[in-house]
Amino acid sequence: MESKKKKLEQLRKHLDILIGALGGLAYAVLTWGIDGYLLQQNNGSVPWLKLAIGTPVVILIFIVAAWFSTRFNNLIIRSLVWMVTATSLSFLISILTFQGTEFAIKALYPNMADQINYILPESIRGRLFVIIVMSNILFLIGGLLIESASEALIKSSGIIGWVLPILFCLIFFGGAGYVADSNFNFQLRDQVLAVNQRINEASQLNPKNLTEREARLIRRFTKLNVALNGPHRLLVGSFDESFSQSAILINFGGTWARCTALNGMVGNCERITN
């Protein structure tokens, strides 16, 4: 009987770690997966880069946190483990999302290195504070629900009986990832989507029948002397303190251009390579 109880306890600890790993995956997917998918759909350059860089690190941290929390039956200590994890990850994702991505993009496009600057402004602290606070709340709830999800997985005889508790637990970790995406990725991603939309719009216009707005739009891009209806890839080159203005770099099959985007509106565009 004692041996069976020990085995069940060991199984529960292993399941805690497994669910913790799934929590890390949920967090990473909501932090960078939405961003990657939308950029992929809108000609973003290396859209899955942040997800590829960040996911292994995040999952490993979640596994360590889950393993560490299984070592203690004390609710306060386990709460502290998940709060420390939330705070640490909040700082880490800011590094991975900006400095880590900048380093990787410069390595992939060395000829554009001088055009890429992801140095974080002082104003990022406000966004980071929101992420830290919300992540602490959501990680605390999600972390404490891991044990009950493991118990359900062991004791439940039906699929719904163990799937729902696990999903309920993962929702909180995914919610923390969504908060991170909303604060770090959303505005910059929207600038890329806006420029791509205007390029597609300009490529379909009939030069013989243009409104004043359409004439301005097509002049903005035709001076680049590139094939607007051809393949192109976009990425953020730099941004201001509020993330409202960005320099968007566009690769037209080896010819690079730069457009200024302000709150979803495209400003001046210029060719920067021959």
Note the pLDDT tens digit of each residue in 88-108: 999 999 999 999 999 999 999
Domain assignment of residue 116, yes or no: no
Q: Quick one: 161 and 205 in the same domain? A: no
Instruction: Kindly report which listed range (4-8, 82-86, 185-189, 210-214) carries the lowest average pLDDT score.
Output: 4-8
The CA distance from 57 to 96, in Å, is 10
Q: Are strands 255-262 and 265-271 parallel, antiparallel or unpaired?
A: antiparallel
The CA distance from 243 to 146, in Å, is 36
Q: Quick one: 27 and 147 in the same domain? A: yes
Q: Quick one: 203 and 73 in the same domain? A: no
Helix ranges restricted to H, the chain: 2-28, 34-41, 49-70, 75-94, 101-108, 124-155, 159-184, 186-203, 212-222
Domain assignment of residue 117, yes or no: no
Q: Quick one: 69 and 203 in the same domain? A: no
Q: Is the pLDDT of residue 2 over 60?
A: no
pLDDT of residue 132: 96
Number of compact structural domains in the chain: 2
| Of 167, 184, 201, the domain-final residue | 184
The CA distance from 173 to 23, in Å, is 6
pLDDT of residue 64: 96
Average pLDDT, the chain: 90
Q: Quick one: 20 and 70 in the same domain? A: yes
Tokens matching residue 72: 């203690």
Q: Is the pLDDT of residue 270 over 80?
A: yes
Q: Quick one: 176 and 238 in the same domain? A: no
What confidence category does residue 12 fall into, taking pLDDT thresholds of 50, 70 and 90? confident
Domain assignment of residue 50, yes or no: yes
Q: Quick one: 141 and 30 in the same domain? A: yes
Q: Quick one: 130 and 195 in the same domain? A: no
Q: Quick one: 249 and 212 in the same domain? A: yes
pLDDT of residue 167: 93
- In sequence order, which residues have a C-beta less than 8 Å from that of residue 258 and are 6 or more positions away? 115, 237, 247, 248, 249, 250, 269, 270, 272
Quote the radius of gyration of the chain (alpha carbons, Å): 23
Domain assignment of residue 77, yes or no: yes
The CA distance from 27 to 100, in Å, is 18
Q: Quick one: 98 and 54 in the same domain? A: yes
| Of 184, 211, 234, the domain-final residue | 184
In 3D space, the residue among 101, 44, 49 whose CA is nearest the CA of residue 231 turns out to be: 44
Domain assignment of residue 215, yes or no: yes
pLDDT of residue 255: 92
pLDDT of residue 237: 94
This prediction has a pTM of 0.91
The CA distance from 257 to 221, in Å, is 10
Residue type present at position 254: G
- State whether residue 10 is helix, strand or coil: helix
Count the neighbouring beta carbons within 10 Å of the beta carbon of residue 118. 18
The CA distance from 196 to 191, in Å, is 9
For 121-144, how does the pLDDT look when each residue is reduced to its tens digit (9 = 90+)? 777 888 999 999 999 999 999 999
The CA distance from 107 to 109, in Å, is 6
The CA distance from 170 to 21, in Å, is 10
Residue with tokens 């020990």: 6
Distance of CA 103 to the CA centre of its chain: 16
Q: Is the pLDDT of residue 56 over 90?
A: yes
Q: Is the pLDDT of residue 230 over 80?
A: yes
Q: Is the pLDDT of residue 40 over 60?
A: yes
What mean pLDDT do residues 68-85 have? Answer: 91
Q: Is the pLDDT of residue 266 over 80?
A: yes
Q: Is the pLDDT of residue 234 over 70?
A: yes
The parent domain of residue 173 ranges over 2-110+122-184
Instruction: Kindly report which listed range (159-168, 195-204, 208-217, 265-274) carries the lowest average pLDDT score.
Output: 208-217
Q: Is the pLDDT of residue 7 over 90?
A: no
What confidence category does residue 273 fall into, taking pLDDT thresholds of 50, 70 and 90? confident
User: 6 or 255, which is more confident?
Assistant: 255
Q: Quick one: 180 and 194 in the same domain? A: no
Tokens matching residue 89: 């990850």
Q: Quick one: 195 and 76 in the same domain? A: no
Instruction: Kindly report which listed range (39-43, 115-119, 177-181, 189-193) carries the lowest average pLDDT score.
Output: 115-119
- State whether residue 239 is helix, strand or coil: strand
User: 238 or 213, which is more confident?
Assistant: 238
Helices 159-184/2-28 angle, 10° precision: 30
